Structure 1
Amino acid sequence: MPISSFHPTYNDNPNPVGQTIDLPGFRLSADQPGKDLSNHEIHDLRQNLLRWYGESGRDLPWRRTRDPYAIWVSEIMLQQTQVKTVMPYYEHWMQQFPTIAHLAQADQQQVLKAWQGLGYYARARNLHRAAQIILAQHGGKFPQDLPSVMSLPGIGQTTAGGILSAAFNQAVPILDGNVKRVLARLRGIDVPPSQAIKALWQISASLLDPQQPRDFNQAFMDLGATICTPKNPACLLCPWNPHCLAYQTNMQNELPVSEKRAPTPHKQIGVAVIWNDRGQILIDRRKQEGLLGGLWEFPGGKIEPGETVEACIVREIQEEIGIEITVGDRLITIDHTYTHFRVTLNVHHCQYVSGEPQAIECDEVRWVEVADLEQFPFPQANVQIIEAIKQQQRQ
């Protein structure tokens, strides 16, 4: 669904881009925003992108509002997450926490439960903390200046630019993953994006239409998400192909240059589903810091070299919770991938023997009924454990 019909007016003077940057392949300075990009070319790039956006831009719920809170929530959810995944979470979130005040006053467990399944849970914790800061320091109103926005937890320069441009039409550039990819191809940048960040920021700033920054930044992201995709970009449909160095040299599948990545670590984890004589299961809440901070889980830990799964589980439960257990049958084995590592969860039924459960390596422990497990926010891999428990009980 087209966003609208644009009738833009253009300023032939591009935004100044500041200091000179030396980079393999081109030289960038205040009077030369990109290699051989004239003011006329920048004018064409802006005009062509906005025209394309008016015809082909995506109709997304956060684009139908100018509420900075709603736009902020969408920007955070969209970090490292696809639009189709975000959509139902966004709708549910805005119903449950319709304003900054609602979010600030909510319990963290409610917030994490609403986020369950989206991953990267620090985003949810930061949203919650930032809402409390806005309520306390800004009277509940989202700030409108870049330094204040960037001082909030979880908001970097790109997210701040996305919010300020979309909500307030401020001329603040962005540089998310989609934009980096588009610019690397447009300018034929022959180093990984991480080695060209300053230059990429300057090019993004130089291209930004100062009169229509809201539409331009949204169009920029759409171009990367729908046309200039990581693999097999639709170059023939791209409004920028007349100016794209990668397209002209048939390098679009080689750019951007890949980042060098270390081998992905693979961790073997022993996990205990501990039952007591009342048919309850012991769960623990992780400490606030870290990847899955604040979430509940079935206790366990890393299997040491030469250690069996059963021995690992007994040791970890003693060290982390301070109780004695016996390890029984295997329930399920789960492979799960995070950003920088993979895990295999070796999950066993266990029977509580003795000792008083203690929160030694966690924030809280609790015996719960199987029927009540769904009330708690769990990491996605642990949700699979819950489903396995229920499936086994139905058999």
Structure 2
Amino acid sequence: MSQFSFSQALLTWFDQYGRHDLPWQVSDNPYKVWVSEIMLQQTQVKTVLKYFDRFIERFPTVVALGNASWEDVAPYWAGLGYYARARNLHKAANQIVQMGGELPQNFEEWIALPGIGRSTAGALMSLGLRKYGVIMDGNVKRVLARFFAIENDLSKSVHEKEMWALATTLCPTERNHDYTQAIMDLGATVCTPKKPLCLYCPMQAHCKAHQQGLENELPFKKTKKPVPIKQANVLLLKCEDTWLWYQRPSLGLWGGLWSLPIYDHEVQSEYEALQLPSSQLEFQIKHSFTHFTWLLDTHCINITHDQKQHITDQIGGEWISLDEAKKRGIPTAMQKIIKHYTMLTLDEKHYL
């Protein structure tokens, strides 16, 4: 297939079946495209849609985001995960404000900002500024690897360079922004990682992987190493309508978000030294990160008013309502604990 026919087949499909109503698909607001591109890294569209409008409503411009503190920004990313993305987005916005508040207008300026790599910069040029740009996200890699039956290990730099060269050759200058959205849409909705919908694919007749029955084998996948499992104790300390929460350090895991007190099993002695009342309820939840899985043993303890100050002196933190904690921003693992606790306590009341 020639460059023209590949792009034309993709654009013809996109005009009829592509996604045209996403909230960041606007021709005059590269800031919205930037926020969406950062949110969409390693995150599905359906998840990002739950966060995007709320984030933009609170930080409608790069100036508003750059002038905000990280403590203001963190709650609007809470639950979306991969918080380094948000910290880099905030840092980059701050840099732009310091340089006058104007968004970059060329590839070199975009890629110089924190958290923006070659593919994201290409997307911002194409989708944000409607200029020429080439992308290489997971969707593009999958579409091209299958279409050309590329069996190489794409995690190796030499093969990564080859994929970039191929993507650049295929990428048209006319309707560049539509082509960029089209190839992402094809990968996200038809040429999916599992059970691709080849019957509905505009590339099916020319797809080498489909011809060879390799569509479920490509792109090449390295064998994943098992992630380590860690354990920790979580204290759900409750006094009437308030719980004990503390703000995580701005750097590191869940930076700037609010969490229930956590003690790693390696510092079990520190947890035991607290001499807390006995748990009324205990349960375990599992929460997975890319680099490890956490088993969180949750101890639910009711605290009386005369015990509050003693516990605060030992642990620190603030006694605030659950609604207030959610408003300040809590990570997904804490949301899981709340959901499980609520379910168990409701079941208990129903049983009684």
Range into which the TM-score falls when normalised by the shorter chain:
0.7 to 0.9
Which structure has more RCO (C-alpha within 8 Å, separation ≥ 6)?
Answer: 2
Match for residue 335 of structure 2 among 370, 383, 391: 383
| Structure 2 residue 237 is matched with structure 1 residue 274 | yes
Cα offset for 1:390? 5.8
Match for residue 238 of structure 1 among 170, 178, 201: 201
Match of 2:300 in 1: 349
Gaps of 5+ in 2: none
Cα offset for 1:212? 2.3
Q: Match of 1:163, as an amino acid?
A: L
> Which secondary structure state, in structure 2, belongs to the residue aligned with residue 61 of structure 1?
coil
Match of 2:192 in 1: 229
Match for residue 147 of structure 1 among 86, 92, 108: 108
Match of 1:332 in 2: 283
Match of 1:200 in 2: 163
| Structure 2 residue 249 is matched with structure 1 residue 287 | yes
RMSD of the alignment, in Å?
Answer: 2.6
TM-score, normalization by structure 1: 0.78
> Which secondary structure state, in structure 1, belongs to the residue aligned with residue 317 of structure 2?
strand
- Looking at structure 1, the residues matched to 213 and 60 of structure 2 have their Cα atoms a distance apart, in angstroms, of 47
- Looking at structure 2, the residues matched to 222 and 369 of structure 1 have their Cα atoms a distance apart, in angstroms, of 42
| Structure 2 residue 7 is matched with structure 1 residue 52 | no
| Structure 2 residue 220 is matched with structure 1 residue 257 | yes
- Looking at structure 1, the residues matched to 329 and 192 of structure 2 have their Cα atoms a distance apart, in angstroms, of 34
Contact 1:282–1:298 (Cα < 8 Å) also in 2: yes
User: 1:132-188 CA deviation, whole Å, 9 max, x = no partner?
Assistant: 111111x21210121221121221111111111112222221010101111111221
- Looking at structure 2, the residues matched to 371 and 89 of structure 1 have their Cα atoms a distance apart, in angstroms, of 18
Gaps of 5+ in 1: 1-36, 305-310
Match of 1:69 in 2: 31
- Looking at structure 2, the residues matched to 292 and 115 of structure 1 have their Cα atoms a distance apart, in angstroms, of 10
Instruction: Give the 5 Å matches for 1:1-395.
Output: 41-59=2-20, 60-137=22-99, 139-195=100-156, 196-275=159-238, 280-304=242-266, 312=268, 315-316=270-271, 325-350=276-301, 354=310, 357=313, 365-370=317-322, 372-387=324-339, 395=349
TM-score, normalization by structure 2: 0.87
User: 1:187-229 CA deviation, whole Å, 9 max, x = no partner?
Assistant: 2111232122111111111111022221111111011111111
**Alignment CA distance shift 1:91-1:280 (3 Å):** closer
Contact 2:258–2:325 (Cα < 8 Å) also in 1: no
**Alignment CA distance shift 1:370-1:167 (3 Å):** closer
**Alignment CA distance shift 1:73-1:224 (3 Å):** same
Contact 1:269–1:301 (Cα < 8 Å) also in 2: yes
- Looking at structure 1, the residues matched to 204 and 79 of structure 2 have their Cα atoms a distance apart, in angstroms, of 38
Contact 1:295–1:379 (Cα < 8 Å) also in 2: yes
- Looking at structure 1, the residues matched to 280 and 90 of structure 2 have their Cα atoms a distance apart, in angstroms, of 40
Between the two proteins, the alignment pairs up a number of residues equal to 339
- Looking at structure 1, the residues matched to 43 and 294 of structure 2 have their Cα atoms a distance apart, in angstroms, of 20
Identity score, percent: 39
Q: Match of 2:334, as an amino acid?
A: N
Which protein is richer in helix relative to its size?
2
- Looking at structure 1, the residues matched to 103 and 118 of structure 2 have their Cα atoms a distance apart, in angstroms, of 16
Contact 1:296–1:377 (Cα < 8 Å) also in 2: yes
Cα offset for 1:393? 7.4
Question: After TM superposition, what 4+ stretches of structure 1 lie above 6 angstroms from structure 2?
Answer: 391-394
